[in-house]
Amino acid sequence: MATIDELLAAADLPDSPTARLDAELLLAHCLGKPRSYLRTWPDRVPEPAQLDAFAAMLARRRQGEPVAYILGHQGFWSLELEVAVHTLIPRPDTELLVETALALLPATPLRALDLGTGSGAIALALASERPGWQVTAVDMIAQAVELAERNRQRLGLDNVEVCRSRWFSALAGERYDLIVSNPPYIAANDRHLGQGDVRFEPSTALVAGPDGLDDIRIIVRQAPEHLQPGGWLMLEHGYDQAATVRELLAAEGFADVHSRLDLGGHERISLGRRD
C-alpha cells in the first residue's frame, strides 16, 4: 500500500498549473486532516476507502473540474465558504473589493448592498469585518440565494440579509451607503470560456453580452437612485475594461472615479462616489 508521500509523488495532474497543491488539498480532504498533516506523517498509509476517494477525486480533477467544486468549499478573505456549481468560485482578486470598501467607508453603522452575491463571499466578508453594517446580498439565481443563506447561517452573521433579485429589481425605494458587485464581465466570444476552471462555472455568472459590459452598464445606470448622497459604487471588471467602466461612471455623474490594481497589477476594480 502506498504512503502519503508516494501517493502525492504519483498523483498525475498534467494539465493543472498547481498540480502538487491540488493533490495535497484533495488527499488532505480524504484523510480529514489539514495539509500540514501530510508533511508531518509522510509515511502513513491511508485506509482503502480513503485511497478510493482520493483516486476518484484525482480523476475528476484530470477532467478539469475545479478543486473547489470537488471539495465543496473555498477560502475567501478570512472565511471558509461552501461553493457549488450554481455560482462562481470566489477568487483572491475579488478580495480587493472588500479591502477597498473597508478602507473607504467608516466602521460606524451603514447600509451596504452586494449585487450578484453568488456564494455570498463579498457580503459575508464585509459583514464579518463590520458588525455595525447592515448588508443586503442579492442574486437572481435561486440556488445561489440558498447557498449564500447557508453560508450566512453557518457563519452566524446576523447583520446580513440574503434575497432574490435581478440587480435592483426587488429593491425599489431602497438606498445604500455602499454598493459592491462582481458581475458577469466576459465577452460572449472570449476564448478563455473554453479553458481552465471557467469551463465548469455557470455562464450566467460569467458572460455579459458582446463586449462583456452589458450588466455593468445596467448597474451603473441604475445605481444612483439606490445610493445615499456620498455613497460609493464599486465594481469588479476585466483586466482591460477599466477605462470604459470609468467612462460609464463619469457619464452617470459619479465623482472621484478611479480604478485600483489587483494582485497581478491589472486595473481590476473601478469605483465612484455619488455626489
Domain map of the chain by residue range?
Answer: 4-64, 84-273
- Residue identified by cell 469585518 is 129
Show the DSSP H helices in the chain as ranges.
4-10, 19-31, 35-40, 48-62, 67-71, 95-104, 121-129, 142-155, 214-222, 242-251
What confidence score (pLDDT) does residue 188 get?
72
Q: What is the pLDDT along the chain (275 residues), one digit of tens a residue?
A: 799 999 999 998 988 889 999 999 999 999 999 999 999 999 999 999 999 999 999 999 998 899 999 999 999 999 999 999 989 899 999 999 999 999 999 999 999 999 999 999 999 999 999 999 999 999 999 999 999 999 999 999 999 999 999 999 999 999 999 999 999 877 777 666 556 666 766 766 667 677 889 999 999 999 999 999 999 999 999 999 999 999 999 999 999 999 999 988 999 999 999 98
What confidence score (pLDDT) does residue 231 get?
98
- Grid cell, residue 235, equals 465594481
User: Are 39 and 78 spatial neighbours (Cβ–Cβ below 8 Å)?
Assistant: no
What confidence score (pLDDT) does residue 1 get?
79
What confidence score (pLDDT) does residue 209 get?
77
State the fold for domain 84-273. Answer: Rossmann fold (3.40.50)
What confidence score (pLDDT) does residue 212 get?
84
Give the span between the Cα atoms of 127 and 90, in whole angstroms: 16
Give the span between the Cα atoms of 251 and 257, in whole angstroms: 11
* Partners of 115 in beta bridges: 138, 181
Q: Identify the three-state secondary structure at position 120.
A: coil
User: Exposed, middle or buried: residue 189 (CB in 10 Å: 0-12, 13-18, 19+)?
Assistant: exposed
- Grid cell, residue 172, equals 425599489
Helix 19-31 / helix 48-62 crossing angle, nearest 10 deg: 150
What confidence score (pLDDT) does residue 201 get?
66
With DSSP H G I counted as helix, E B as strand and the rest as coil, what are the percentages for the chain, rounded to 5?
45, 20, 35
As a residue count, the chain comes to: 275
Which amino acid belongs to residue 237? H
What confidence score (pLDDT) does residue 195 get?
64
User: Exposed, middle or buried: residue 45 (CB in 10 Å: 0-12, 13-18, 19+)?
Assistant: middle
Give the span between the Cα atoms of 126 and 117, in whole angstroms: 12
